[in-house]
Each structure stands twice: as C-alpha cells, then as structure tokens.
Structure 1
Amino acid sequence: MIPDHRKTREDSPAAIEFLGGVGTVTGSKHLVSSARDRVLVDCGLFQGLASLRRRNWARLPVGIADLDAVLLTHAHLDHTGYLPVLVRAGWRGPVYATPDTARLAEIVLLDSAHLMEEEAAHANARGWSKHHPARPLYTRRDAAAAVACVATVDFDTPFAATDGVAAEFGSAGHILGSAWVRLDLAGGRTVVVSGDLGRTGHPLLNPPRPRPDCDALLLESTYGARVHDDADLDDRLARTITDTVGGGGSVLIPAFAVDRTEVVLAALSRLRRAEAIPDVPVLVDSPMALASLRVYQHAIAEHDPRLRPALWLGGDPFAPLRLYELHTVEESMEANRPRLPSVVISASGMATGGRVLHHLKHLLPDRRNTVVIVGFAAAGTRARQLADGAGEVKIHGRYVRVRARVDVLDGFSAHADADDLVTWATSGRPPRTAYLVHGEPDASASLAGRLRDEHGWSAVLPREGERVLV
C-alpha cells in the first residue's frame, strides 16, 4: 500500500512508481507524481500465471485518497481491467481516455464482468473451483460504475489531467483509440508512456505518431526480442484452413475481441476474394468482438483519420465472407461441434476465459481440427501452453488432451516488434532514462540492450513497486 503523501506533496519531487506491467505483459499500472499531483497511467488486470492473477485480489496498490486522475492508453483488459476494483473501493474519477477507447472500454469491462459472474456461477454449479463459494473479482454493476467515471479527450489536444499535470494523447496505432501519453509535470519534467504501440504495417490502422521529447520514457517491450515473421503470412493461413477443411476438420482461432478479430476477418476476406480458401462458414462467437466490430465499422464509415484510407476506398474490408454472428449461448454451444467444417473465431485471445474455452474442450481432442494462435500469449495462459506444445491443458477443472494441430502465426499481432519499437523510441531526442515495461524479462532485457548498445541510451528494467525520480 502506498502511503498518503498529500501532507508533504509540496516537498515531493517528480517520480514514477511501477505498480504493474513490470516483468510481465499484464497488469499495467504506472503512478506518475509531481509536487502536488498523482496520476495513474493505465489500470490493468493481471492475467496468466496464478501468482499474477492473485494480485488482482490483493490490497489496492495505490491509496484512494492519494490519487487524482487515471489516464487510459487503450481499452484492452491488461490496461483497463482493474478499474472496476478501484471504483468499487470508493474512487470516483476522473478517468481520461480517447473517445474510441471510452467506447471500447465500456464493451470490454462490461463483458469482462459478465464472464467473471458467469464463470463463478459455473464453478459453483460444477464444483471445480477451490474457492467456496467462488465469486467474481467484480460485477457488471462495478464495471458500469467504472465506465461512468470516464471522460473523453481527443487526440492531439492538450488538457489538464490535474491542476499540476498537463497531458496529451497521441495516436499509438495499436487498436482503435489507442494512444501514447505525454505528461508535463510541475517543475518542468516530462514523462511519455508509450502504452502499447502498433505495427508499422498494421492492416487497419495508420502507424503511431512520432514520440515527443521527454525526460523519462516508459516503453512497452512485448516483442522486444522478436521481429514479426510476415513472410507468406496469408499463404500460411490459407494452407492451414485449406488442409484442415479438406480433412473434415474445423479451425479455431482464439482472438482478442478488440482489433485482432477485425484483423483476422480482414485477412480471411482477402483470402476468400482471391479464392485462396474454400467458402466455409466463418463463425464469430464473442459478443464483445461483435460489439467491437460495430465500433470499427462505424469508424470506417466516418473515415476515422487513425484508419488507413484504403479501408473506405476499397469497399467493405470484411466481405465477402459467409459470416455468422453467434450471440446466444445456444448458438455458441452448437459451434462446439460445427455441422460443417468451419472457421471459428472466439475470445479470449490468450484463452484465459470466455466462450473459446468450451470450443477448445470439444475441438482439441480431434486430430482433424486446428487451433491457430494469432497473437502474443502471456506466460501461464492456455494459448501460451498450446503454442509451446502442451499435450494437455486444464479447462474448468479437467485436463483436455491436445490432439488437434496447433499453428502459431504471430504475424497477425497488433504489437510493434523490436525493430518498430526501436524506430519509434529513437525518433526524438534521447530521454534521460528509458524504462522497459510491459514485457517478459527476456524481451525487456533484449530491447534495453539494443537501446544501450546501438544508441547509447540509459535503458533500465524497473522492479515491481520501484520508485524512481524523473
């Protein structure tokens, strides 16, 4: 628990405290403080390893009375999912975000709460949880209260996050609405938090805006040790689908509901227009993904400047698929064993929860089927276990045999790779210090090494709970 410094704020120098997203790609929380103000950049949920997930249930990492504002870089749960806990504990805002982040965060948080309530009920009915009774981390009521705290700010528009902290969002190109954040603190210090950065070649979004100059840079490092393998990506996906369907099986794609589902649908549409894949049903089984798809379709119709112009110049990017939207539980249950060979896209992308777990239970034991991992999977998640070649995965208290083929196509990731990160970070004046966050240790260390060796930077891997001066 961080002590309340309000009585001594006038004597406090500008500082950063790393409360999450350090040594891991989940739970991003960075507390930036100046002489008078304390701003939390991102309020993410820990996912993956049980030791990380338990931290969501621990005491609040920041005192409610000691927090002046929250800024969200984008809507993914690892950056927003702890906000309902903070609000349930009594905090009432403000929370600042771009308009599309606000729209998507409402969808993400309400869906997350629904899934938590549903999973707790399932565990209590089937007895597979060690907690008696199992309970959700937060409810839909908590999520709605968190959403009500959000105030929107447009990109490239300086605003007062607090009386003593000026802020600005710049487009990060990761998902719709995603932003990096610049904070100008009392005393003249400047901090930039990258959030999650998008790829230069993102098929839907324009590249990130250049980094502004700063004294301290918090740089994500999800793919800090890797360069995306984009070679023949569409061809590889086409072969996987064609081979699987030809053998009478179905393809299951666990996909993040926000952005990844849209990217995958766009790829399938390209392949279908080129007649590179058979005309099979494409089932999207995620209410959150379908709601997010509507936000993307609206942005395309409105010619959102964060999107690539080709999206509205070339017709519907998600046509001509034989697309089926599965909304009800009954429809989802039917897709566990598709009547015809199909492509099933379902959340969550790291297979930590949601409807995709039921599809995995039914499809993994059959050698005819294929599971395609299309994005980053954190340590401890089922998607990571599958990518690493696990022979069994535990779902709802029972182990499921993995006989299906598993393909990893990380070229569909919306994250900047190591080259993208270095290019973006070094586009401006070097900061006094760069802090590598939101990455597993090897990835963060690799990126820090490149910044030191190739550019002469001071690049640091902060420790959990560490406080540094700006």
Structure 2
Amino acid sequence: MKLTFLGGTGTVTGSKYLLEHDGRRLLVDAGLFQGLKQLRLRNWDEFPIAPASIDAVVLSHAHLDHSGFIPRLIEQGFRGAVHASAPTRDLCALLLPDSGRLLEEEAEYANRHGFSKHHPALPLYTEEAARAAIGRFKVHHFGEVFEPVPGLQVKLQRAGHLLGAASVRVAWEGGTALFSGDLGRSNDMLMPPPMPPEAADWLIVESTYGDRLHDGGEPLDLIADIVSRTARRGGVVVIPAFAVGRAQTLLLALHRLRQQGRIPGIPVFLNSPMAAEATGLYERHAAEHRISPAEFEAMRHAAHIVSTVEESKKLNSLRVPAVIISASGMASGGRVLHHLKAFAPDERNSLIFAGFQAAGTRGASIVAGAPTVKIHGEHIPVRAEVHQIDSFSAHADRQELLAWVGAMPSAPRQVFVTHGEPVAADSLRQAIEERHGWHCRVPEYRDTVAW
C-alpha cells in the first residue's frame, strides 16, 4: 500500500489522499485549495497523476475543501464513482453547483471590471459541470462495508461536524488506515459528537484546532451581547457563514435568544438561497442531528429568506438595526462580499466571524485587524466592530482531538497529522507523541509513504 498526500498539508484546505494498492487507486477526498494565492493556484495545476488512472473517490463530507475539486477532476479525465453518505451526496448537490455558479460569476465580474490578470478570466469549472458530477455519486449507510475498488474495503463512521460527515476506514489484506475527516465537537448545538475511532494500523487525523482550545465563553451570551450593543447604536450585524452547517447553527442560536428575550426584535435576514435549501436537507435527514422537530421548525422561521439578487442589493441600503447572515464563511466569495463593502466602513456596525478563518482569506485578514480589505479590486476600510467566536466552530478543538485519538482501541503503527496550518499540526503531533508515545509525522505536500 502506498499513500500520497495531495492536499490538506500545511493548510486546512485541498484535502486529497491517494491510496495505491495492487495497481488500483483510491482518492479519499477531493477538496479545493482555498485562501493563500499560492494554494489556490494549485487548483489550476496539472493534477499530479492522471485523473483517468484513479478508480474511485470516497468523500468524508461535503464542505468544498473536501469535495469541491470533483467537477475539475472529472473534466480532467476521472471516470469512476464518488462514494459518500446520503446526506453528503445531497449537500454536494447544493454546494458543487453553487461553487460552479460563483466561479462563473467571479470570472464574469473580473472580465466586466477588468481587474483580472488573465484575459479572459475563466472559471475553474462551471455550474453545468458541477451538476453533471452529482450523477457520479454512490451512497452508503454509516457502518456499511463496501468495496469501491477491488481489494479495498471501506466503512464510513459518523464524525459529527456536518450533516453526513464521516471518518473513513480503509482495510486491505495486510493493513488498515483510518482517516478522521473533520471531527465535530462533543457539545455542538446541532450535531451529535463523533463516534469513537476503530482500531487501525495507520491513523490520518485532522488538526485544524490542534494548537488551541475553543473560547470558553458561552456562544449565546457572546452573540446576545454583540447584537444588542450593535442594535443600540443603530448598526447592522453582518455574519459571514458557511451555508451548510454554520448558517443553521446561527439560526438556531438567534431563535433561542429571541425566544428568551435576550436580543431585540430586529429583523434577521438569511441571504443565501443555498443555506435555505440546505436547511431543508436537515429536515430530510432528521436522524442525523440533535434538535427536536418543533425547534427545527421554529429555527427555519427565525429569519427572512432573501431569494433574489434585487432583495440582496436592497439590504445594502439598510439604515435600521438588523442581522444579516450570508455566505461564505471566510468571506472568500458570494453575496457577503457586497455586504462587507456596504457595512464594514461604518463603526456603528459589527462583523461576526463564527469559526476558523484560513490563512490568506479575507476573513483571516479582517479578524487579524487589517484596516482595509480588498474586495472586487477595491480597498474597503474596516471600521466596524470585528468579532471572532470560535465556540461556534464545528471543529473539535485540541482537547477534543486528543480525546478522540486517545479512544483508539490499540496503538496505531503510525499517526499522520494533516489538515492543519503548520503550528497547529506540529503542536498536535507533539501532544500525541508525549501523551501516547506513538510515532507521529506531519507530512508535506506530495509526500509519499509505503507500507
């Protein structure tokens, strides 16, 4: 068996792990690189191996840093099936076409305003290509053992984090490997905790928060304070949020706060048609999350859904207190960019980033205190009050990661720490070595190991 790390190394994006066994090739995850320009350019590079030589893909979950490269992989020659849980397939049916549409819109906007270095600017892939890719999916139940390629048996196990998210266990004659995927939290408002890991010879574990604990503050208290203070000064709260997972958690939080009378009765807008559609999928897969049907129904009505572009534009002229939840979560694209242009320059307003901000994203720059941020070729001043609330993150923190790793029934032969920025990954590596004495390694991009 040979494992090559084609992404998710030195960064929290672009997750791709290639397994090669007896002449067969299985790709675990096919994510987009995001954030820093040198990472994003990898999406355009010639793939390190011929995509036509890959027999199958298995997805841990639907977030674009794990699934968003699939349409591009298919366009480059991949002919196999994409294996995933049913909720992951359903979410990808929303996320991938939306990604293609945004890529097309960004290319068109760049061409219209002349700020691209490429003439003409082209999308990485189109909405049409993304929709076609959904036909390649094959769904599997959690706990089911299936064989995506001869000689490799795969099982998906609930990982929390997101609807349908899974850890991926791969077995072959002579060995086993367990890919954690993105692990959820023990006390997430929306999702149940990850299942304990099964024994494996080789463990590949994420490290997004490998060097830190989540803010100990109660997230509802933090949201209530920010919304109330902003409303008192007549401002607008803008919350960049991932359309799948984070948007639903925020809706639930705002519903509970309003029900408890802890925030004023100001309007809440959900400006993401995809987030609205994704919320419906949580109803379809009710057994996969932890809120009751009654509270779920109330959560769905916690905000006014903004459907049209015209409605979205009107929000930018708001001069009364309000809350706007809009994608994307790291301000890397989507409608939220227009809201940031409209509201970031006014000190009466507030910006809330509810989770991790990858290096090189606008969200990371704003959270770090940048006085301006570049949007659509313009430098926009940031005078609004800025907050980052990690306690809303759907990622396990350092303590929760170590607890999950420590629940392994037996010591793996080796641990590979991935999907984390360099300090976070190395910090988790050191902690695992010190706590368990296991051999750990932080792989680099395109590293290969053979077992």
TM-score w.r.t. the length of structure 1 is 0.94
2:191 partner amino acid: L
Unmatched runs of 5 consecutive residues or more in structure 2: none
Does the Cα contact within 8 Å between 1:337 and 1:363 map onto a contact in 2? Answer: no
Residues 355-385 of structure 1: CA deviation (Å, up to 9, x unaligned): 0100000101011100001011100000000
2:262 aligned with 1:276, yes or no?
Answer: yes
How many Å separate the matches in 1 of 2:292 and 2:358?
31
How many Å separate the matches in 1 of 2:293 and 2:411?
37
Match of 2:186 in 1: 200
Match of 1:217 in 2: 203
Match of 1:69 in 2: 56
Q: Offset at 1:36? A: 3.2
Match of 2:86 in 1: 99
Match of 1:60 in 2: 47
Unmatched runs of 5 consecutive residues or more in structure 1: 1-13
Secondary structure of 2:79 counterpart: coil
Does the Cα contact within 8 Å between 1:273 and 1:320 map onto a contact in 2? Answer: no
Match of 1:9 in 2: none
Secondary structure of 2:292 counterpart: helix
2:420 aligned with 1:439, yes or no?
Answer: yes
How many Å separate the matches in 1 of 2:216 and 2:317?
31
Secondary structure of 2:6 counterpart: strand
How many Å separate the matches in 1 of 2:65 and 2:300?
31
Question: Alignment partner for residue 249 of structure 2, among 252, 257, 263?
Answer: 263
Question: Alignment partner for residue 365 of structure 1, among 345, 350, 356?
Answer: 345
How many Å separate the matches in 1 of 2:137 and 2:437?
40
Residues 36-64 of structure 1: CA deviation (Å, up to 9, x unaligned): 32110000000000000111000013312
Q: Offset at 1:272? A: 0.6
Question: Alignment partner for residue 131 of structure 2, among 129, 144, 153?
Answer: 144
Q: Offset at 1:91? A: 1.5
Does the Cα contact within 8 Å between 2:50 and 2:77 map onto a contact in 1? Answer: no
How many Å separate the matches in 1 of 2:38 and 2:150?
37
1:248 partner amino acid: G
Secondary structure of 2:285 counterpart: helix
2:278 aligned with 1:292, yes or no?
Answer: yes
Secondary structure of 1:318 counterpart: helix
1:445 partner amino acid: D
Question: Alignment partner for residue 392 of structure 2, among 404, 412, 433?
Answer: 412
Does the Cα contact within 8 Å between 1:93 and 1:150 map onto a contact in 2? Answer: no
Does the Cα contact within 8 Å between 2:218 and 2:391 map onto a contact in 1? Answer: no
Tell which deviates more after alignment, 254-263 or 53-62: 53-62
How many Å separate the matches in 2 of 1:251 and 1:438?
31
Question: Alignment partner for residue 427 of structure 1, among 388, 393, 407?
Answer: 407
2:120 aligned with 1:133, yes or no?
Answer: yes
Question: Alignment partner for residue 363 of structure 2, among 368, 376, 383?
Answer: 383
Match of 1:399 in 2: 379
Residues 56-96 of structure 1: CA deviation (Å, up to 9, x unaligned): 00001331232111000000000011111111112122110
Q: Offset at 1:147? A: 1.1
Does the Cα contact within 8 Å between 2:341 and 2:375 map onto a contact in 1? Answer: yes
Q: Offset at 1:319? A: 6.2
Does the Cα contact within 8 Å between 1:36 and 1:164 map onto a contact in 2? Answer: no
Does the Cα contact within 8 Å between 1:81 and 1:109 map onto a contact in 2? Answer: yes
Task: Summarize the alignment of residues 109-120 of structure 1 with structure 2, pairs less than 5 Å apart.
Answer: 109-120=96-107
Q: How many residues align?
A: 450
How many Å separate the matches in 2 of 1:65 and 1:120?
27
Secondary structure of 2:19 counterpart: strand
Secondary structure of 1:167 counterpart: strand
Q: Offset at 1:339? A: 4.5
Q: Offset at 1:286? A: 1.0
2:31 aligned with 1:23, yes or no?
Answer: no
2:6 aligned with 1:32, yes or no?
Answer: no
Q: Offset at 1:314? A: 5.0
How many Å separate the matches in 1 of 2:420 and 2:372?
26
Q: Offset at 1:298? A: 2.5
1:237 partner amino acid: I
How many Å separate the matches in 1 of 2:274 and 2:439?
41
Q: 1:458 to 1:349 in 2, by over 3 A?
A: same
Residues 94-125 of structure 1: CA deviation (Å, up to 9, x unaligned): 11000000000110000000011111111111
Tell which deviates more after alignment, 232-241 or 176-185: 232-241
Does the Cα contact within 8 Å between 1:39 and 1:70 map onto a contact in 2? Answer: yes
Secondary structure of 1:148 counterpart: helix
Question: Alignment partner for residue 325 of structure 1, among 305, 314, 318?
Answer: 305
Q: 1:126 to 1:256 in 2, by over 3 A?
A: same
Question: Alignment partner for residue 124 of structure 1, among 111, 130, 140?
Answer: 111
Q: 1:402 to 1:164 in 2, by over 3 A?
A: same
Does the Cα contact within 8 Å between 1:285 and 1:326 map onto a contact in 2? Answer: yes
Secondary structure of 1:97 counterpart: strand
How many Å separate the matches in 2 of 1:449 and 1:315?
41
How many Å separate the matches in 1 of 2:168 and 2:51?
22
> Superposition RMSD on alpha carbons, in Å?
1.2
Does the Cα contact within 8 Å between 1:204 and 1:311 map onto a contact in 2? Answer: no
Q: Offset at 1:311? A: 2.3
Secondary structure of 1:151 counterpart: strand
Question: Alignment partner for residue 355 of structure 1, among 335, 358, 381?
Answer: 335
Does the Cα contact within 8 Å between 2:282 and 2:289 map onto a contact in 1? Answer: no
Tell which deviates more after alignment, 140-149 or 443-452: 140-149
2:73 aligned with 1:90, yes or no?
Answer: no
Does the Cα contact within 8 Å between 2:51 and 2:74 map onto a contact in 1? Answer: no
Give the % identical residues: 46
Does the Cα contact within 8 Å between 2:235 and 2:319 map onto a contact in 1? Answer: no
Does the Cα contact within 8 Å between 1:437 and 1:461 map onto a contact in 2? Answer: yes
Residues 409-433 of structure 1: CA deviation (Å, up to 9, x unaligned): 1100000001111111121212111
1:351 partner amino acid: A
Does the Cα contact within 8 Å between 2:355 and 2:392 map onto a contact in 1? Answer: yes
Does the Cα contact within 8 Å between 1:97 and 1:153 map onto a contact in 2? Answer: yes
Q: Offset at 1:340? A: 2.6
Match of 1:7 in 2: none
